[in-house]
């Protein structure tokens, strides 16, 4: 069986049925799992292919190869490992949910008060 298969479909409702048919013909199982824990959404995608993914350098004209670059840019963390059963791999990533605020670094700044904060009578702003 070929380790790498690629199909391209036009943006059309009929493409969904065609994609399902082609995947069924390959007799491959692709599983997706979603879980929320400790303010993180974890998404796992498993398949029977043992080849672990790696980020690629692509040119502006390439039509593929940007998936992991997007995951790396958007996710808190991500990874890939062989499946425990010995067949295939699982690729996963974690994204912070709205319930978990992103960490913020605060650098204290010490400065003199602004010129308008000097003591004395205050005038209304006109």
pLDDT tens, 66-104? 888 889 889 999 999 999 888 899 999 999 987 655 555
Q: Supply the pLDDT for residue 55.
A: 84
CA distances from 83 to 6, 38, 49, 61 (A): 22, 24, 10, 34
Res 108: pLDDT: 55
Contacts by 74-83 with C-beta closer than 8 Å and gap 24+?
Answer: 76/40, 80/52, 80/53, 81/52, 82/50, 82/52, 83/46
110 pLDDT exceeds 80?
Answer: no
In the prediction, which pLDDT does 93 show?
A: 94
Average pLDDT over all residues of the chain: 76
């Amino acid at each position: 069986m070929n380790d790498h298969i690629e199909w391209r479909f036009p943006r059309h409702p009929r493409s969904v049925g065609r994609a399902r048919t082609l995947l069924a013909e390959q007799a491959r199982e692709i599983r997706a799992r979603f879980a929320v824990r400790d303010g993180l959404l974890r998404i796992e995608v498993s398949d029977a292919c043992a080849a672990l993914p790696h980020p690629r350098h692509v040119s502006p004209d390439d039509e593929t190869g940007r998936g992991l670059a997007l995951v790396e840019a958007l996710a808190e963390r991500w990874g890939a490992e062989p499946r425990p059963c010995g067949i295939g791999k699982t690729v996963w990533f974690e994204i912070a949910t709205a319930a978990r605020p992103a960490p913020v670094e605060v650098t204290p700044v010490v400065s003199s008060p602004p010129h308008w904060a000097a003591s004395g009578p205050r005038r209304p702003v006109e």
